[in-house]
Amino acid sequence: MNIKNLIFICLIVFMTGIISAKEASQKTVLITGASTGIGRLTAEILAKEGYLVYAGARKQKDIDSLNKIPNVQGIKLDVTVQAEVDAAVETINKAGLGLYGLVNNAGVGSGGPLIDVDEADIRWLFDVNVFGVIKVTQAFAPLIIESQGRIVTIGSISGVGTWFGGGDYTMSKHAIEAFSETLALEMAGFDVKVSVIQPGNYNSEIVKTSLSRHGELTEKQKKSVYADYYKDRLKRTGDRSKYKEPDEVVTAVKHALFDLKPRLRYMVVPDREEAKWTIASTIARVAQRNENQEHAFSRKELIEMLDKAIAKENGTKPAEN
């Protein structure tokens, strides 16, 4: 063997070692509901920054579109179908790169006054927004535990407050709050961090998709005490282009996935009014629970509790009163 061939072989071995090391260190993330909106943008940005993204989608055309993005592998994944969840686990296991991050993003909207809304519609919404999250998290938990990774779920400020006609959706997002908080406690022993992102109003397809499920008024809706609500809903287009793109939400997802000190909750809203609505909703509940009960706390005691909570969140000492 001449010296040129020897150098060439050594170079190949050296480069192979570099590629293998890169593959071993490249963090992998699974994002559900990655065909549009927050999921799609998160997949694009993470992939651009060098992460390997498994992007879940239900339709083949969306999977094909995702596969065109470097560092993205589209996966057929309807979170309500156990067989597809199991197949996704098998695909990622076969790749041999493990899984560092799970982003539970898949979600749907519906809506309608609670005394009118069909039980089937509520069950469908919960199947995606709640049971789908549980199903996927349970399936991928072993991989996340093995990598001591992160689990991030996209909730909503609707998991904090409520609004007329949004009972089924807000119930599902309130459930995600409890899910994430409890999961964080249960995964702490495995050094797995859990976070919930609470976006406000950003540009997405969720309302348009929701409205597309509602056709002409049913006889029940025409006779309903909320008939005017249903008539008004028919006029809506679901166009959310007036809202900002969800770049700020993606920034929060990245912090939750990769920062050394991720937070449990990330409220991400486009303006101060939405921040005020969310915080005020929380404060109203504190007041409602505290007042007119045998063990009510004074204003001073409540402020001391708040100071301690703020200090704990910021890693500082409570303010002096």
Nearest Cα neighbor of 26 from 44, 56, 47 is 47
Q: Which residues are catalytic?
A: 169, 173
Single-letter amino acid, residue 23 = E
Give me Rg for the CA atoms of the chain.
23
Beta bridge partners of 73: 54
* Number of neighbours of residue 157 by Cβ within 10 angstroms: 21
* Rounded CA separation 208/204 (Å): 8
Nearest Cα neighbor of 306 from 294, 316, 319, 315 is 319
* Rounded CA separation 75/91 (Å): 8
Q: Cα–Cα distances in Å, from 80 out to 76, 85, 117, 125? A: 12, 8, 21, 10
